Amino acid sequence: NAGVTQTPKFRILKIGQSMTLQCTQDMNHNYMYWYRQDPGMGLKLIYYSVGAGITDKGEVPNGYNVSRSTTEDFPLRLELAAPSQTSVYFCASSSRGGGTGELFFGEGSRLTVL
Amino acid sequence: GQQLNQSPQSMFIQEGEDVSMNCTSSSIFNTWLWYKQDPGEGPVLLIALYKAGELTSNGRLTAQFGITRKDSFLNISASIPSDVGIYFCAGLNYGGSQGNLIFGKGTKLSVKP
């Protein structure tokens, strides 16, 4: 009963490096999301997808890219990592998208950029 | 942009006490939700509210959708140690392909056995 799986759980990057955070869900959900959580702050939406081949920007998309080639996978790519991207990243999915707000979250990926 | 004001920011309580927290906004929302985040985990949905004035319970948790549609309250009765975590409110406005879901900054709950 995996739900939403994120890898890696922890990663340290040097400034300017690139990496991809992986997200997979096994619930056949069409809607998937990437959020970032900074200490003492709520969750901010980075990118979302309403189905395979369709992605769109959220509130804080700068410095990130996404793709959605399958229903199951929604990777988040960081290009030219900066200290401001130090955060905990959460992937989420939903069966009913924007109409309900009912999201299933992964366990998070903690990224530190030094 | 829209913001949610969640209070209190943190609470230290004794096991067995009741807990109240709330979320307010200057904007109207169509749906209010409450999530809980355990340490080191992702948020988990506790309660979703879809109508103004709605009062919904989930075990020891009770949440209400304010009549003005600008606020919501969460109460936890007879707290236990496993209630420890961060509680997030979220407000949703319909529209667009994914709606507009806004999260509060969270209330961190600590329970003393």
Residue B81 phi, psi dihedral angles, 5° rounding: -55, -35
Q: How far apart are CA B45 and CA A103, in angstroms?
A: 7
DSSP state for residue A99 in the 8-state scheme: G
Q: Do B31 and A108 touch (CB under 8 A)?
A: no
DSSP SS3 for A98: helix
Q: What's residue A99's pLDDT?
A: 63
Question: Could you give the angle at the alpha carbon of B13 between the alpha carbons of B11 and B19, nearest 5°?
Answer: 75
Which candidate in B97, B105, B108 is best for mutational testing of the A interface (most A CBs within 10 A)?
Answer: B97
* pLDDT class of A42 with cuts at 50, 70, 90: confident
In A, which residues are within 8 Å of B107 by CB distance? none
List the single residue in A with minimal CA-CA distance to B108.
Answer: A40
Q: How far apart are CA A69 and CA A108, in angstroms?
A: 22
* pLDDT class of A45 with cuts at 50, 70, 90: very high
Per run of 10 residues, the mean pLDDT along chain B (length 113 residues) is 88 96 93 94 94 95 96 97 96 68 93 89
Q: How far is A101 from chain B (nearest CA, A)?
A: 6
Which candidate in B98, B100, B108 is best for mutational testing of the A interface (most A CBs within 10 A)?
Answer: B98
Strand partners, A43: A37
